[in-house]
Structure 1
Protein backbone atom coordinates (compact mmCIF):
# COMPACT_ATOMS: atom_id res chain seq x y z
CA UNK A 1 0.00 0.00 0.00
CA UNK A 2 2.83 2.36 0.86
CA UNK A 3 4.53 1.77 -2.48
CA UNK A 4 1.29 2.44 -4.35
CA UNK A 5 0.85 5.75 -2.53
CA UNK A 6 4.43 6.67 -3.37
CA UNK A 7 3.84 5.94 -7.07
CA UNK A 8 0.65 7.98 -7.07
CA UNK A 9 2.45 10.86 -5.35
CA UNK A 10 5.21 10.88 -7.96
CA UNK A 11 2.63 10.64 -10.76
CA UNK A 12 0.77 13.61 -9.31
CA UNK A 13 3.98 15.64 -9.11
CA UNK A 14 4.87 14.92 -12.75
CA UNK A 15 1.30 15.77 -13.76
CA UNK A 16 1.66 19.20 -12.11
CA UNK A 17 4.97 19.69 -13.94
CA UNK A 18 3.07 19.01 -17.17
CA UNK A 19 0.26 21.44 -16.29
CA UNK A 20 2.75 24.10 -15.19
CA UNK A 21 4.75 23.71 -18.39
CA UNK A 22 1.62 24.12 -20.52
CA UNK A 23 0.66 27.33 -18.71
CA UNK A 24 4.22 28.69 -18.93
CA UNK A 25 4.41 27.87 -22.64
CA UNK A 26 1.13 29.68 -23.25
CA UNK A 27 2.40 32.82 -21.52
CA UNK A 28 5.64 32.77 -23.53
CA UNK A 29 4.02 32.09 -26.91
CA UNK A 30 1.01 34.38 -26.57
CA UNK A 31 2.14 37.35 -24.49
CA UNK A 32 5.94 37.53 -24.66
CA UNK A 33 7.69 36.34 -27.81
CA UNK A 34 5.28 38.03 -30.29
CA UNK A 35 5.76 41.40 -28.57
CA UNK A 36 9.49 41.09 -27.77
CA UNK A 37 8.94 41.03 -24.02
CA UNK A 38 11.96 39.24 -22.52
CA UNK A 39 11.57 39.01 -18.70
CA UNK A 40 14.97 37.52 -17.92
CA UNK A 41 15.95 33.88 -17.84
CA UNK A 42 16.62 31.50 -20.69
CA UNK A 43 13.24 32.31 -22.26
CA UNK A 44 14.31 35.96 -22.46
CA UNK A 45 17.63 35.11 -24.10
CA UNK A 46 15.82 32.72 -26.47
CA UNK A 47 13.41 35.50 -27.46
CA UNK A 48 16.30 37.81 -28.36
CA UNK A 49 18.12 35.09 -30.34
CA UNK A 50 14.87 34.19 -32.10
CA UNK A 51 14.58 37.71 -33.50
CA UNK A 52 18.32 38.10 -34.19
CA UNK A 53 18.25 34.95 -36.34
CA UNK A 54 15.08 36.00 -38.12
CA UNK A 55 13.09 33.10 -36.67
CA UNK A 56 15.42 30.52 -38.19
CA UNK A 57 15.35 28.55 -34.94
CA UNK A 58 12.26 28.08 -32.79
CA UNK A 59 12.16 29.43 -29.24
CA UNK A 60 11.83 25.93 -27.77
CA UNK A 61 14.91 24.65 -29.61
CA UNK A 62 16.95 27.69 -28.56
CA UNK A 63 15.93 27.25 -24.91
CA UNK A 64 16.87 23.58 -24.98
CA UNK A 65 20.24 24.35 -26.60
CA UNK A 66 21.00 27.00 -23.95
CA UNK A 67 20.14 24.58 -21.15
CA UNK A 68 22.42 21.75 -22.34
CA UNK A 69 25.71 23.33 -21.17
CA UNK A 70 24.05 24.36 -17.91
CA UNK A 71 23.02 20.77 -17.22
CA UNK A 72 26.51 19.51 -18.00
CA UNK A 73 28.14 22.11 -15.77
CA UNK A 74 25.66 21.74 -12.94
CA UNK A 75 25.22 17.96 -12.83
CA UNK A 76 27.80 17.45 -10.09
CA UNK A 77 26.31 20.15 -7.86
CA UNK A 78 22.67 19.00 -7.96
CA UNK A 79 20.92 16.01 -6.42
CA UNK A 80 19.88 13.14 -8.69
CA UNK A 81 16.17 13.49 -7.97
CA UNK A 82 16.25 17.20 -8.65
CA UNK A 83 18.23 16.86 -11.88
CA UNK A 84 15.88 14.19 -13.26
CA UNK A 85 12.79 16.29 -12.64
CA UNK A 86 14.45 19.44 -13.91
CA UNK A 87 15.56 17.64 -17.08
CA UNK A 88 12.00 16.42 -17.54
CA UNK A 89 10.59 19.92 -16.97
CA UNK A 90 13.13 21.56 -19.28
CA UNK A 91 12.58 19.19 -22.21
CA UNK A 92 8.82 19.21 -21.67
CA UNK A 93 8.58 23.01 -21.67
CA UNK A 94 10.69 23.33 -24.82
CA UNK A 95 8.59 20.68 -26.58
CA UNK A 96 5.29 22.26 -25.54
CA UNK A 97 6.43 25.75 -26.62
CA UNK A 98 7.22 24.50 -30.13
CA UNK A 99 4.32 22.04 -30.23
CA UNK A 100 1.68 24.62 -29.36
CA UNK A 101 3.22 27.42 -31.42
CA UNK A 102 0.78 27.00 -34.37
CA UNK A 103 -2.22 27.28 -32.03
CA UNK A 104 -0.84 30.20 -30.03
CA UNK A 105 0.25 31.92 -33.24
CA UNK A 106 -3.33 31.64 -34.51
CA UNK A 107 -4.60 33.24 -31.27
CA UNK A 108 -2.08 36.08 -31.52
CA UNK A 109 -2.72 36.86 -35.17
CA UNK A 110 -6.51 36.58 -34.99
CA UNK A 111 -7.29 38.05 -31.60
CA UNK A 112 -4.32 40.05 -30.28
CA UNK A 113 -2.56 41.31 -33.39
CA UNK A 114 -2.61 45.03 -34.09
CA UNK A 115 -3.72 44.18 -37.65
CA UNK A 116 -6.95 42.59 -36.41
CA UNK A 117 -9.10 43.66 -33.47
CA UNK A 118 -6.71 46.17 -31.92
CA UNK A 119 -5.05 49.09 -33.64
CA UNK A 120 -2.64 49.55 -30.73
CA UNK A 121 -1.80 46.43 -28.71
CA UNK A 122 -1.79 47.10 -24.97
CA UNK A 123 1.69 45.85 -24.11
CA UNK A 124 1.26 46.75 -20.44
CA UNK A 125 -1.78 44.50 -20.19
CA UNK A 126 0.07 41.72 -22.03
CA UNK A 127 3.10 42.04 -19.76
CA UNK A 128 0.90 41.90 -16.66
CA UNK A 129 -1.16 38.92 -17.77
CA UNK A 130 1.88 37.19 -19.25
CA UNK A 131 3.69 37.52 -15.92
CA UNK A 132 0.58 36.30 -14.10
CA UNK A 133 0.36 33.14 -16.22
CA UNK A 134 4.10 32.51 -16.16
CA UNK A 135 4.16 32.82 -12.37
CA UNK A 136 1.37 30.29 -11.99
CA UNK A 137 3.03 27.86 -14.41
CA UNK A 138 6.50 28.09 -12.90
CA UNK A 139 5.05 27.99 -9.38
CA UNK A 140 3.37 24.66 -10.13
CA UNK A 141 6.63 23.29 -11.56
CA UNK A 142 8.68 24.49 -8.57
CA UNK A 143 6.10 23.12 -6.15
CA UNK A 144 6.61 19.67 -7.69
CA UNK A 145 10.32 19.73 -6.85
CA UNK A 146 11.59 20.65 -10.31
CA UNK A 147 12.49 23.69 -12.39
CA UNK A 148 12.52 24.42 -16.10
CA UNK A 149 16.31 24.80 -16.08
CA UNK A 150 17.78 28.11 -17.15
CA UNK A 151 18.75 30.76 -14.64
CA UNK A 152 17.95 28.53 -11.65
CA UNK A 153 20.69 26.15 -12.73
CA UNK A 154 23.02 29.00 -13.59
CA UNK A 155 22.44 30.59 -10.17
CA UNK A 156 23.16 27.30 -8.39
CA UNK A 157 26.43 26.93 -10.28
CA UNK A 158 27.50 30.52 -9.57
CA UNK A 159 26.50 30.18 -5.92
CA UNK A 160 28.71 27.10 -5.60
CA UNK A 161 31.76 29.15 -6.58
CA UNK A 162 30.68 32.46 -5.00
CA UNK A 163 28.81 31.54 -1.80
CA UNK A 164 29.03 35.13 -0.49
CA UNK A 165 26.02 36.00 -2.66
CA UNK A 166 22.59 34.49 -2.02
CA UNK A 167 20.65 32.59 -4.68
CA UNK A 168 18.15 35.43 -4.80
CA UNK A 169 20.85 38.03 -5.44
CA UNK A 170 22.42 35.93 -8.19
CA UNK A 171 19.05 35.32 -9.88
CA UNK A 172 18.23 39.02 -9.72
CA UNK A 173 21.59 39.90 -11.30
CA UNK A 174 21.19 37.34 -14.11
CA UNK A 175 17.60 38.31 -14.93
CA UNK A 176 18.42 42.02 -14.83
CA UNK A 177 21.36 41.45 -17.18
CA UNK A 178 19.11 39.57 -19.62
CA UNK A 179 16.52 42.36 -19.57
CA UNK A 180 19.19 45.02 -20.23
CA UNK A 181 20.62 42.89 -23.05
CA UNK A 182 17.16 42.48 -24.61
CA UNK A 183 16.32 46.20 -24.30
CA UNK A 184 19.63 47.13 -25.93
CA UNK A 185 19.15 44.60 -28.73
CA UNK A 186 15.61 45.72 -29.52
CA UNK A 187 16.58 49.37 -29.02
CA UNK A 188 13.68 50.04 -26.67
CA UNK A 189 13.78 51.07 -23.03
CA UNK A 190 9.99 50.69 -22.98
CA UNK A 191 10.23 46.98 -23.76
CA UNK A 192 12.75 46.64 -20.94
CA UNK A 193 10.31 48.26 -18.52
CA UNK A 194 7.54 45.93 -19.66
CA UNK A 195 9.89 42.99 -19.11
CA UNK A 196 10.63 44.17 -15.55
CA UNK A 197 6.88 44.38 -14.92
CA UNK A 198 6.42 40.81 -16.17
CA UNK A 199 9.31 39.57 -14.03
CA UNK A 200 7.90 41.27 -10.92
CA UNK A 201 4.37 39.89 -11.40
CA UNK A 202 5.63 36.37 -12.14
CA UNK A 203 7.84 36.37 -9.02
CA UNK A 204 4.86 37.39 -6.86
CA UNK A 205 2.69 34.66 -8.36
CA UNK A 206 5.43 32.07 -7.79
CA UNK A 207 5.55 33.12 -4.12
CA UNK A 208 1.75 32.83 -3.91
CA UNK A 209 1.78 29.31 -5.38
CA UNK A 210 4.68 28.11 -3.23
CA UNK A 211 3.84 29.82 0.05
CA UNK A 212 0.13 30.56 -0.20
CA UNK A 213 -1.67 33.88 -0.17
CA UNK A 214 -2.22 36.17 2.80
CA UNK A 215 -5.50 34.76 4.02
CA UNK A 216 -4.75 34.58 7.76
CA UNK A 217 -3.43 36.79 10.55
CA UNK A 218 -1.22 36.05 13.53
CA UNK A 219 -1.76 38.19 16.62
CA UNK A 220 0.49 38.62 19.65
CA UNK A 221 -1.15 40.12 22.74
CA UNK A 222 0.78 41.37 25.78
CA UNK A 223 -1.49 42.22 28.68
CA UNK A 224 -1.82 41.97 32.44
CA UNK A 225 -5.24 40.42 31.80
CA UNK A 226 -4.08 37.73 29.40
CA UNK A 227 -6.14 34.98 31.08
CA UNK A 228 -9.41 36.89 30.69
CA UNK A 229 -8.59 37.85 27.08
CA UNK A 230 -7.72 34.23 26.21
CA UNK A 231 -11.03 33.00 27.63
CA UNK A 232 -12.97 35.52 25.52
CA UNK A 233 -11.09 34.52 22.36
CA UNK A 234 -11.76 30.82 23.02
CA UNK A 235 -15.45 31.48 23.68
CA UNK A 236 -16.36 34.24 21.20
CA UNK A 237 -14.04 33.46 18.28
CA UNK A 238 -13.68 29.71 18.77
CA UNK A 239 -9.94 30.00 18.12
CA UNK A 240 -7.12 28.36 20.01
CA UNK A 241 -4.75 30.52 22.03
CA UNK A 242 -1.19 29.70 23.08
CA UNK A 243 0.47 31.41 26.05
CA UNK A 244 4.17 32.13 25.57
CA UNK A 245 6.50 33.11 28.39
CA UNK A 246 7.89 36.62 28.08
CA UNK A 247 9.97 39.00 30.15
CA UNK A 248 9.82 42.79 29.97
CA UNK A 249 13.45 43.82 29.61
CA UNK A 250 12.78 47.29 31.03
CA UNK A 251 10.75 46.21 34.08
CA UNK A 252 12.23 42.73 34.47
CA UNK A 253 8.72 41.36 35.04
CA UNK A 254 7.49 38.06 33.62
CA UNK A 255 4.39 38.24 31.45
CA UNK A 256 2.32 35.93 29.29
CA UNK A 257 2.30 36.64 25.57
CA UNK A 258 -0.80 35.30 23.83
CA UNK A 259 -0.43 33.92 20.32
CA UNK A 260 -3.50 33.34 18.19
CA UNK A 261 -4.04 32.61 14.47
CA UNK A 262 -7.18 34.13 12.97
CA UNK A 263 -9.00 34.46 9.70
CA UNK A 264 -8.87 38.02 8.38
CA UNK A 265 -12.58 38.57 8.98
CA UNK A 266 -12.15 37.87 12.70
CA UNK A 267 -9.62 40.66 13.30
CA UNK A 268 -12.16 43.45 14.05
CA UNK A 269 -13.91 41.27 16.64
CA UNK A 270 -10.57 40.38 18.26
CA UNK A 271 -9.72 44.08 18.57
CA UNK A 272 -13.06 44.69 20.28
CA UNK A 273 -12.40 41.85 22.73
CA UNK A 274 -8.98 43.20 23.67
CA UNK A 275 -10.31 46.76 23.96
CA UNK A 276 -13.11 45.61 26.28
CA UNK A 277 -10.78 43.62 28.53
CA UNK A 278 -7.69 45.84 28.60
CA UNK A 279 -7.32 49.11 26.70
CA UNK A 280 -3.62 49.22 27.66
CA UNK A 281 -2.87 45.86 26.03
CA UNK A 282 -0.09 45.72 23.43
CA UNK A 283 -1.28 44.01 20.21
CA UNK A 284 0.82 42.97 17.22
CA UNK A 285 -0.86 41.82 13.99
CA UNK A 286 1.04 40.22 11.12
CA UNK A 287 0.19 38.51 7.84
CA UNK A 288 0.49 34.73 7.54
CA UNK A 289 1.27 33.13 4.19
CA UNK A 290 0.03 29.67 5.01
CA UNK A 291 -1.39 27.86 8.03
CA UNK A 292 -1.43 24.09 8.30
CA UNK A 293 -3.41 22.36 11.03
CA UNK A 294 -6.81 22.13 12.67
CA UNK A 295 -9.20 24.89 11.67
CA UNK A 296 -7.15 25.89 8.64
CA UNK A 297 -5.49 24.06 5.73
CA UNK A 298 -4.87 20.33 5.91
CA UNK A 299 -1.47 18.80 5.12
CA UNK A 300 -1.02 17.54 1.54
Structure 2
Protein backbone atom coordinates (compact mmCIF):
# COMPACT_ATOMS: atom_id res chain seq x y z
CA UNK A 1 0.00 0.00 0.00
CA UNK A 2 2.77 2.42 0.97
CA UNK A 3 4.72 1.60 -2.20
CA UNK A 4 1.59 2.23 -4.28
CA UNK A 5 1.00 5.64 -2.66
CA UNK A 6 4.69 6.54 -3.04
CA UNK A 7 4.53 5.60 -6.73
CA UNK A 8 1.40 7.73 -7.29
CA UNK A 9 2.90 10.82 -5.66
CA UNK A 10 6.22 10.29 -7.45
CA UNK A 11 4.41 10.28 -10.81
CA UNK A 12 2.39 13.37 -9.84
CA UNK A 13 5.60 15.13 -8.76
CA UNK A 14 7.29 14.30 -12.07
CA UNK A 15 4.19 15.61 -13.88
CA UNK A 16 4.12 18.97 -12.12
CA UNK A 17 7.89 19.37 -12.59
CA UNK A 18 7.38 18.97 -16.36
CA UNK A 19 4.50 21.48 -16.35
CA UNK A 20 6.59 23.96 -14.35
CA UNK A 21 9.52 23.49 -16.76
CA UNK A 22 7.30 24.21 -19.77
CA UNK A 23 5.90 27.34 -18.10
CA UNK A 24 9.24 28.79 -17.01
CA UNK A 25 11.36 27.93 -20.06
CA UNK A 26 8.88 28.11 -22.95
CA UNK A 27 5.66 29.94 -22.00
CA UNK A 28 6.52 32.73 -19.54
CA UNK A 29 9.68 34.05 -21.28
CA UNK A 30 7.69 34.33 -24.52
CA UNK A 31 4.54 35.75 -22.88
CA UNK A 32 2.44 32.77 -23.94
CA UNK A 33 -0.50 32.66 -21.52
CA UNK A 34 -1.75 29.14 -22.22
CA UNK A 35 -4.88 29.34 -20.09
CA UNK A 36 -5.42 28.40 -16.47
CA UNK A 37 -4.16 30.04 -13.32
CA UNK A 38 -0.59 30.03 -14.67
CA UNK A 39 -1.82 31.96 -17.71
CA UNK A 40 -3.30 34.61 -15.42
CA UNK A 41 -0.02 34.67 -13.46
CA UNK A 42 2.01 35.20 -16.66
CA UNK A 43 -0.21 38.16 -17.62
CA UNK A 44 0.02 39.71 -14.13
CA UNK A 45 3.79 39.19 -14.10
CA UNK A 46 4.07 41.13 -17.37
CA UNK A 47 2.04 44.03 -15.97
CA UNK A 48 3.72 43.91 -12.54
CA UNK A 49 7.23 42.46 -13.07
CA UNK A 50 7.91 42.29 -9.33
CA UNK A 51 5.15 39.70 -8.93
CA UNK A 52 6.55 36.17 -9.09
CA UNK A 53 4.59 33.79 -11.31
CA UNK A 54 4.99 31.07 -8.69
CA UNK A 55 3.72 33.27 -5.86
CA UNK A 56 0.77 34.58 -7.92
CA UNK A 57 -0.15 31.01 -8.92
CA UNK A 58 0.03 29.88 -5.30
CA UNK A 59 -2.11 32.77 -4.04
CA UNK A 60 -4.71 32.31 -6.80
CA UNK A 61 -4.93 28.56 -6.18
CA UNK A 62 -5.40 29.05 -2.44
CA UNK A 63 -8.07 31.73 -3.03
CA UNK A 64 -9.88 29.49 -5.54
CA UNK A 65 -9.80 26.55 -3.16
CA UNK A 66 -11.30 28.72 -0.40
CA UNK A 67 -14.00 30.07 -2.75
CA UNK A 68 -14.79 26.55 -3.95
CA UNK A 69 -15.16 25.21 -0.41
CA UNK A 70 -17.34 28.20 0.59
CA UNK A 71 -19.66 28.45 -2.40
CA UNK A 72 -19.64 25.21 -4.37
CA UNK A 73 -18.92 22.60 -1.70
CA UNK A 74 -15.58 21.76 -3.32
CA UNK A 75 -14.48 18.18 -2.82
CA UNK A 76 -10.83 18.02 -3.76
CA UNK A 77 -8.72 14.96 -3.17
CA UNK A 78 -5.42 15.26 -1.34
CA UNK A 79 -3.65 14.48 -4.61
CA UNK A 80 -5.24 17.45 -6.37
CA UNK A 81 -4.33 19.81 -3.55
CA UNK A 82 -0.79 18.40 -3.56
CA UNK A 83 -0.50 18.79 -7.36
CA UNK A 84 -1.90 22.32 -7.59
CA UNK A 85 -0.01 23.79 -4.64
CA UNK A 86 3.10 21.74 -5.47
CA UNK A 87 3.13 23.19 -8.99
CA UNK A 88 3.03 26.72 -7.57
CA UNK A 89 5.92 25.98 -5.21
CA UNK A 90 8.05 24.38 -7.93
CA UNK A 91 7.50 27.39 -10.22
CA UNK A 92 8.50 29.67 -7.35
CA UNK A 93 11.59 27.54 -6.69
CA UNK A 94 12.68 27.69 -10.34
CA UNK A 95 12.30 31.47 -10.35
CA UNK A 96 14.09 31.86 -7.03
CA UNK A 97 17.08 29.58 -7.55
CA UNK A 98 17.48 28.67 -11.24
CA UNK A 99 17.09 32.02 -13.03
CA UNK A 100 14.85 30.67 -15.86
CA UNK A 101 15.35 31.84 -19.43
CA UNK A 102 13.77 31.32 -22.86
CA UNK A 103 15.16 28.17 -24.45
CA UNK A 104 13.89 29.55 -27.75
CA UNK A 105 12.51 32.92 -28.82
CA UNK A 106 10.68 31.41 -31.80
CA UNK A 107 7.01 31.60 -30.78
CA UNK A 108 5.97 28.61 -32.87
CA UNK A 109 8.70 26.36 -31.44
CA UNK A 110 7.97 27.63 -27.92
CA UNK A 111 4.25 26.94 -28.40
CA UNK A 112 4.73 23.42 -29.75
CA UNK A 113 7.38 22.24 -27.30
CA UNK A 114 5.77 24.06 -24.37
CA UNK A 115 2.46 22.32 -25.15
CA UNK A 116 4.13 18.94 -25.65
CA UNK A 117 6.11 19.01 -22.38
CA UNK A 118 3.22 20.48 -20.42
CA UNK A 119 0.80 17.92 -21.89
CA UNK A 120 3.02 15.01 -20.84
CA UNK A 121 3.16 16.43 -17.31
CA UNK A 122 -0.58 17.08 -17.12
CA UNK A 123 -1.38 13.62 -18.52
CA UNK A 124 0.77 12.02 -15.81
CA UNK A 125 -1.09 14.01 -13.16
CA UNK A 126 -4.55 13.33 -14.61
CA UNK A 127 -3.74 9.63 -14.99
CA UNK A 128 -3.21 9.42 -11.22
CA UNK A 129 -6.73 10.81 -10.69
CA UNK A 130 -5.51 14.28 -9.71
CA UNK A 131 -5.45 17.68 -11.39
CA UNK A 132 -3.41 20.86 -11.20
CA UNK A 133 -6.45 22.81 -9.94
CA UNK A 134 -6.83 26.36 -11.21
CA UNK A 135 -8.85 26.20 -14.41
CA UNK A 136 -10.95 23.29 -13.13
CA UNK A 137 -12.06 25.34 -10.13
CA UNK A 138 -12.77 28.44 -12.23
CA UNK A 139 -14.84 26.34 -14.61
CA UNK A 140 -16.81 24.83 -11.74
CA UNK A 141 -17.56 28.32 -10.38
CA UNK A 142 -18.91 29.37 -13.81
CA UNK A 143 -20.93 26.16 -13.92
CA UNK A 144 -22.56 26.87 -10.54
CA UNK A 145 -23.25 30.59 -10.92
CA UNK A 146 -23.96 30.82 -14.67
CA UNK A 147 -25.20 27.25 -15.32
CA UNK A 148 -22.69 26.61 -18.11
CA UNK A 149 -21.64 23.05 -18.92
CA UNK A 150 -18.23 22.14 -17.48
CA UNK A 151 -16.72 21.69 -20.96
CA UNK A 152 -18.02 25.07 -22.11
CA UNK A 153 -16.91 26.61 -18.82
CA UNK A 154 -13.35 25.35 -19.31
CA UNK A 155 -13.30 26.75 -22.84
CA UNK A 156 -14.76 30.06 -21.64
CA UNK A 157 -12.13 30.43 -18.90
CA UNK A 158 -9.23 29.79 -21.26
CA UNK A 159 -10.79 32.09 -23.89
CA UNK A 160 -11.13 34.92 -21.37
CA UNK A 161 -7.50 34.50 -20.29
CA UNK A 162 -6.36 34.53 -23.91
CA UNK A 163 -8.54 37.59 -24.56
CA UNK A 164 -6.91 39.37 -21.62
CA UNK A 165 -3.47 38.54 -23.01
CA UNK A 166 -4.34 40.42 -26.23
CA UNK A 167 -4.38 43.70 -24.30
CA UNK A 168 -1.04 42.95 -22.65
CA UNK A 169 0.95 41.07 -25.31
CA UNK A 170 -0.88 41.83 -28.57
CA UNK A 171 -2.95 39.74 -30.97
CA UNK A 172 0.01 37.82 -32.43
CA UNK A 173 1.18 36.34 -29.13
CA UNK A 174 -2.41 35.79 -27.96
CA UNK A 175 -3.08 33.63 -31.03
CA UNK A 176 -0.08 31.48 -30.13
CA UNK A 177 -1.56 31.18 -26.63
CA UNK A 178 -4.81 29.95 -28.15
CA UNK A 179 -2.91 27.48 -30.34
CA UNK A 180 -1.14 26.18 -27.25
CA UNK A 181 -4.47 25.63 -25.47
CA UNK A 182 -5.79 23.65 -28.45
CA UNK A 183 -2.61 21.55 -28.67
CA UNK A 184 -2.68 20.88 -24.93
CA UNK A 185 -6.24 19.55 -25.07
CA UNK A 186 -5.52 17.26 -28.03
CA UNK A 187 -2.17 15.92 -26.76
CA UNK A 188 -3.35 15.33 -23.18
CA UNK A 189 -6.33 13.29 -24.42
CA UNK A 190 -4.13 11.18 -26.70
CA UNK A 191 -1.52 10.57 -24.01
CA UNK A 192 -4.07 9.51 -21.41
CA UNK A 193 -5.62 7.12 -23.93
CA UNK A 194 -2.14 5.72 -24.57
CA UNK A 195 -1.42 5.24 -20.85
CA UNK A 196 -4.64 3.27 -20.35
CA UNK A 197 -4.77 1.20 -23.53
CA UNK A 198 -5.43 -2.49 -22.89
CA UNK A 199 -6.18 -5.45 -25.13
CA UNK A 200 -9.65 -6.94 -25.33
CA UNK A 201 -9.28 -10.59 -26.42
CA UNK A 202 -11.80 -13.17 -27.67
CA UNK A 203 -10.42 -16.71 -28.04
CA UNK A 204 -12.00 -19.78 -29.58
CA UNK A 205 -9.88 -22.87 -28.94
CA UNK A 206 -10.19 -26.59 -28.28
CA UNK A 207 -7.91 -25.95 -25.29
CA UNK A 208 -9.85 -23.00 -23.90
CA UNK A 209 -9.79 -24.31 -20.31
CA UNK A 210 -6.01 -24.67 -20.38
CA UNK A 211 -5.73 -21.12 -21.77
CA UNK A 212 -8.09 -19.80 -19.10
CA UNK A 213 -5.91 -21.37 -16.37
CA UNK A 214 -2.87 -19.64 -17.87
CA UNK A 215 -4.67 -16.28 -17.81
CA UNK A 216 -5.80 -16.77 -14.18
CA UNK A 217 -2.72 -18.46 -12.68
CA UNK A 218 0.19 -17.00 -14.68
CA UNK A 219 -1.06 -13.61 -15.85
CA UNK A 220 -3.19 -13.21 -12.70
CA UNK A 221 -6.08 -11.75 -14.67
CA UNK A 222 -9.73 -12.64 -14.73
CA UNK A 223 -11.48 -14.09 -17.76
CA UNK A 224 -14.98 -15.17 -18.75
CA UNK A 225 -16.44 -18.03 -20.77
CA UNK A 226 -19.18 -17.03 -23.18
CA UNK A 227 -21.46 -19.66 -24.71
CA UNK A 228 -21.55 -19.76 -28.50
CA UNK A 229 -22.66 -21.89 -31.40
CA UNK A 230 -20.58 -22.41 -34.52
CA UNK A 231 -22.60 -21.10 -37.48
CA UNK A 232 -21.04 -23.61 -39.87
CA UNK A 233 -20.81 -26.69 -37.62
CA UNK A 234 -23.83 -26.02 -35.40
CA UNK A 235 -21.79 -27.22 -32.40
CA UNK A 236 -21.68 -25.53 -29.00
CA UNK A 237 -18.41 -23.74 -28.33
CA UNK A 238 -16.79 -21.80 -25.50
CA UNK A 239 -15.62 -18.29 -26.30
CA UNK A 240 -13.00 -17.07 -23.84
CA UNK A 241 -13.01 -13.33 -23.13
CA UNK A 242 -10.34 -11.37 -21.24
CA UNK A 243 -8.98 -7.83 -20.90
CA UNK A 244 -5.21 -7.71 -20.40
CA UNK A 245 -2.29 -5.33 -20.80
CA UNK A 246 -0.18 -5.15 -23.96
CA UNK A 247 2.74 -6.99 -22.34
CA UNK A 248 0.42 -9.69 -21.03
CA UNK A 249 -1.06 -10.16 -24.49
CA UNK A 250 2.40 -10.87 -25.93
CA UNK A 251 2.87 -13.64 -23.34
CA UNK A 252 -0.65 -14.99 -23.93
CA UNK A 253 -0.20 -15.07 -27.71
CA UNK A 254 3.01 -17.06 -27.30
CA UNK A 255 1.29 -19.51 -24.94
CA UNK A 256 -1.68 -19.99 -27.32
CA UNK A 257 0.70 -20.55 -30.24
CA UNK A 258 2.38 -23.37 -28.30
CA UNK A 259 -0.87 -24.79 -26.89
CA UNK A 260 -3.23 -24.59 -29.87
CA UNK A 261 -1.81 -23.24 -33.14
CA UNK A 262 -5.28 -23.54 -34.70
CA UNK A 263 -6.96 -21.23 -32.15
CA UNK A 264 -9.03 -18.34 -33.45
CA UNK A 265 -8.25 -15.01 -31.74
CA UNK A 266 -9.66 -11.52 -32.18
CA UNK A 267 -7.97 -8.57 -30.50
CA UNK A 268 -9.22 -5.03 -29.95
CA UNK A 269 -7.99 -2.00 -28.07
CA UNK A 270 -9.89 -0.54 -25.12
CA UNK A 271 -8.95 2.89 -23.81
CA UNK A 272 -10.35 2.64 -20.29
CA UNK A 273 -10.93 -0.32 -18.00
CA UNK A 274 -12.60 -0.01 -14.61
CA UNK A 275 -12.86 -2.86 -12.15
CA UNK A 276 -10.80 -5.43 -10.30
CA UNK A 277 -7.17 -5.49 -11.37
CA UNK A 278 -7.48 -2.15 -13.19
CA UNK A 279 -8.74 1.30 -12.12
CA UNK A 280 -11.09 1.48 -9.15
CA UNK A 281 -14.50 2.59 -10.47
CA UNK A 282 -15.22 4.35 -7.14
CA UNK A 283 -12.53 6.95 -7.92
CA UNK A 284 -14.28 8.04 -11.15
Structure 1 residue 138: deviation in Å? 3.2
Structure 1 residue 142: deviation in Å? 4.3
CA contact (8 A) 2:54 2:88 kept: yes
CA contact (8 A) 1:20 1:141 kept: yes
Equivalence for 2:199: 217
Distance between the aligned counterparts of 2:128 and 2:274, measured in 1?
19
Give the count of matched residue pairs.
261
| 1:78 lines up with 2:74 in the alignment | yes
Structure 1 residue 236: deviation in Å? 11
Structure 1 portions without partners, runs of 5+: 115-120, 248-253
Map 1:10-159 to 2 at 5 A. 16-51=11-46, 53-76=47-70, 77-79=73-75, 82=77, 86-101=80-95, 105-108=99-102, 112-114=103-105, 121=106, 123-142=107-126, 146-159=130-143
TM-score by length of 1: 0.63
CA 1:229–1:124 in 2, change beyond 3 Å: closer, same or farther?
Answer: farther
Structure 1 residue 75: deviation in Å? 0.9
Equivalence for 2:225: 243
Secondary structure of the 1:100 match is helix
Structure 1 residue 125: deviation in Å? 3.7
CA contact (8 A) 1:29 1:97 kept: yes
CA contact (8 A) 1:244 1:258 kept: yes
Superposition CA RMSD, Å: 4.6
CA contact (8 A) 1:130 1:198 kept: no
CA 1:277–1:156 in 2, change beyond 3 Å: closer, same or farther?
Answer: same
Distance between the aligned counterparts of 1:90 and 1:288, measured in 2?
26
CA 1:227–1:140 in 2, change beyond 3 Å: closer, same or farther?
Answer: closer
Equivalence for 2:270: 287
Q: Which of 163, 178, 189 is matched with 1:192 structurally?
A: 178
Distance between the aligned counterparts of 2:48 and 2:62, measured in 1?
23
TM-score by length of 2: 0.66
CA contact (8 A) 2:32 2:176 kept: no
Secondary structure of the 1:147 match is coil
Distance between the aligned counterparts of 1:160 and 1:89, measured in 2?
24
Distance between the aligned counterparts of 2:7 and 2:269, measured in 1?
34
Residues 62-110 of structure 1: CA deviation (Å, up to 9, x unaligned): 223333432222114123x62x5544443332232122125654553xx
Distance between the aligned counterparts of 1:257 and 1:268, measured in 2?
16
Residues 159-183 of structure 1: CA deviation (Å, up to 9, x unaligned): 4457773x44432443344334435
